């Protein structure tokens, strides 16, 4: 049966990621470690024979740098897609979980009570992120039916996509781990059935043979 194979990749490690602050739309670059991670990932994808028709990347620098490293190895071209950018946390961007809970105690409790519909001041809700991400992804899949295609995005975006492909309620979004420079692989068959083949997968020399 004909299928479309979608590779969903998270960007590499970013500068300041050890501080565990909500980055959202803050346009931080990859760290030195992150640059090494995405180069290793690109080399692994090349050696594994992955051959996407196109790379679609969030417009944020950390994703674009990741996409560029992959494109240097695979030579398939990059389309920048702003709808794949990370969730906007509005005025909470740059803050830690603990700082938010202290500075915005009432809003913080509202977030915990309704994590899907709540949006931080000047930010987005999970449902709003889902709507724009799925709109973009459905367009990409329609354009590349029967092909391999690659998305480079963010932890929050990837979790939304995985929930959708697994048929999970979005309330389970934070039960899905997405490490820096990880790969998720989804086959979508002609009947629309998605089959998730890999989750939070790390490409390295020991695991190359496991990739399709």
The answer to whether 161 and 167 are in contact (CB under 8 A) is no
CA quadruple 30, 35, 37, 38: dihedral sign:
positive
The one catalytic residue in 33, 68, 86, 124 is 86
Which of 167, 136, 168, 139 has the alpha carbon at shortest distance from 153?
A: 136
The one catalytic residue in 11, 119, 144, 154 is 11
Q: What stretches of 70-144 adopt beta strand conformation (E)?
A: 78-80
Hey, what are 50's tokens? 């992955």
E strand or H helix that includes residue 188: strand 183-189
Which of 126, 156, 139, 143 has the alpha carbon at shortest distance from 63?
A: 156
Annotation says 154 is catalytic: no
DSSP annotation of 85 = S
* Pairwise CA distance, residues 25 & 85, whole Å: 7
Residue 99's Cα: distance from chain center in Å? 25
| Packing angle of the helix pair 32-47, 61-74 (nearest 10 deg) | 30
Provide the annotated active-site residues: 11, 86
């Amino acid at each position: 049966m004909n299928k479309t194979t979608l590779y969903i990749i998270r960007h590499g490690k970013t500068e300041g990621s050890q501080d565990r602050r909500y980055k959202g739309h803050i346009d931080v670059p990859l760290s030195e470690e992150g640059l090494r991670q995405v180069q290793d990932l690109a080399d692994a994808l090349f050696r594994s024979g992955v051959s996407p028709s196109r790379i679609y990347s969030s417009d944020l620098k950390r994703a674009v740098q990741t996409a560029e490293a992959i494109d240097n190895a695979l030579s398939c071209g990059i389309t920048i897609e702003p709808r794949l950018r990370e969730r906007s946390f509005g005025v909470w961007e740059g803050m830690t979980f603990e700082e938010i809970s202290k500075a915005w105690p009432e809003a913080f409790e509202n977030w915990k009570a309704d994590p899907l519909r709540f949006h931080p001041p000047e930010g987005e809700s999970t449902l709003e992120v889902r709507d724009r991400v799925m709109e973009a992804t459905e367009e990409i899949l329609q354009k590349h039916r029967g092909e391999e295609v690659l998305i480079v995005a963010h932890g929050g975006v990837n979790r939304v996509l995985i929930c959708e492909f697994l048929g999970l309620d979005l309330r389970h979004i934070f039960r899905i781990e997405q490490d820096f420079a990880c790969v998720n692989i989804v086959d979508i068959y002609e009947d629309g059935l998605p089959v998730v083949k890999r989750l939070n997968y790390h490409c390295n020399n020991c695991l190359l043979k496991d990739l399709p």
